[in-house]
Amino acid sequence: MKKVAIQGVIGSYHDIAARKYFEKEEIEIIPCKTFRDVFSAVKNDNEVLGLMAIENTIAGSLLQNYELLRDSNLQIIGEYKLRVSHTLSALPGQTLQDITEIISHPIAIMQCRVFLDTLPYPVKVVESEDTALSAKMIRDRQRMGQAAICSKYAAELYELHVLEEGIETNKRNFTRFLVMADHWLASELINKNEINKSSLVFALPHSEGSLSQVLSVLSFYNMNLTKIQSLPIIGREWEYLFYVDLTFSDYIRYRQSIDAIRPLTKNLKILGEYADGRQSV
Say if residue 281's pLDDT is above 70.
Answer: no
- Catalogue the E-assigned strands of the chain: 2-7, 27-32, 48-56, 60-61, 75-83, 87-90, 101-104, 124-127, 146-150, 161-165, 174-181, 197-203, 224-232, 240-247, 266-274, 278-279
- Would you state the pLDDT for residue 221? 97
Q: What is the pLDDT of residues 61-73, one digit of tens each?
A: 999 999 999 999 8
- Would you state the pLDDT for residue 246? 97
- Would you state the pLDDT for residue 205? 85
Say if residue 278's pLDDT is above 90.
Answer: no
Q: What is the pLDDT of residues 104-161, one digit of tens each?
A: 999 999 999 999 999 988 999 999 999 999 999 999 999 999 999 999 999 999 999 9
Active site annotation includes 177: yes
Higher-confidence position of 233 and 5 = 5
Q: What is the pLDDT of residues 7-18, one digit of tens each?
A: 999 999 999 999
Catalytic residue among 22, 87, 131, 175: 175
Say if residue 212's pLDDT is above 80.
Answer: yes
Q: How far apart are CA 221 and CA 277, in angstroms?
A: 22
Catalytic residue among 22, 35, 39, 177: 177
